[in-house]
């Protein structure tokens, strides 16, 4: 008997921020790491394959969504991003913005056939 395909969850939590020249750019997000780890455990209990990553630059975050296009997904794809942000964008740990429309375009049916028939749920904090 084959095992059902597990749904996937990608959790990105940025807690420490600095600008390109190494200066501290924004205040640290205390408690965000602990919240993300709790979310990760709950999703694993719900049979999700969870990928939890900390402190990613805007480019690294965009690359992570591109990588999802080559992965096998189960019934759902869930994405949780916990970071500082601005209207319509989340900030990488390098203080650079990643537009939400860029993420959604990356995982659209046109650009990501692996997720074409898979419901996608995004939580942005």
Residue 104: partners with Cβ closer than 8 Å, 6 or more residues away: 122
Condensed to tens digits (0 to 9), the pLDDT of residues 65-74 reads 999 998 888 8
Question: Has residue 18 been placed in a domain?
Answer: yes
Q: Under DSSP, is residue 27 helix (H, G, I), strand (E, B) or coil?
A: coil
Sign of CA dihedral 124, 47, 104, 65: positive
According to DSSP, residue 5 is labeled P
Provide the pLDDT for residue 1. 47
Q: Using DSSP, state whether 54 is helix, strand or coil.
A: strand
Q: What is the number of domains present in the chain?
A: 1
Domain assignment of residue 85, yes or no: yes
Mean pLDDT of 10-34: 82
Q: Is residue 3 part of a domain?
A: no
Residue labelled with tokens 């650079």: 96
Question: Do residues 82 and 91 make contact, with C-beta atoms less than 8 angstroms apart?
Answer: no
pLDDT recorded at residue 24: 58
In a domain, 2, yes or no: no
pTM of this structure: 0.88
1 found inside a domain: no
- What pLDDT is attached to residue 2? 52
Q: Is residue 26 part of a domain?
A: yes
- State the alpha helices, DSSP H only, in the chain: 32-45, 58-68, 100-106
**Can you give the CATH number for the domain in which 28 is found?**
3.40.50.1460
The pLDDT of residue 83 is 96
Would residue 29 count as lying in a domain?
yes
Per-residue pLDDT reduced to its tens digit, 80-122 = 999 999 999 999 999 999 999 999 999 999 999 989 989 999 9
Specify the higher pLDDT residue, 66 or 29: 66
- Domain of residue 115 covers 8-124
Is position 60 within any domain?
yes
């Amino acid at each position: 008997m084959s095992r059902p395909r597990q749904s996937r969850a990608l959790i990105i939590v940025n807690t420490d921020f600095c600008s390109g020249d190494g200066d501290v750019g924004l205040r640290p997000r205390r408690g965000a790491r602990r919240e993300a780890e709790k979310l990760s455990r709950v999703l694993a209990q719900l049979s999700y394959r969870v990928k939890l990553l900390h402190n990613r630059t805007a480019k690294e975050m965009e690359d992570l969504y591109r990588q999802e296009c080559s992965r096998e997904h189960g019934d759902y794809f869930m994405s949780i991003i916990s970071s500082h942000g601005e209207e319509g964008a989340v900030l990488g740990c390098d203080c650079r913005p990643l537009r939400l429309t860029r993420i959604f375009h990356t995982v659209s049916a046109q650009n990501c056939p692996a997720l074409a028939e898979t419901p996608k749920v995004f939580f942005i904090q």
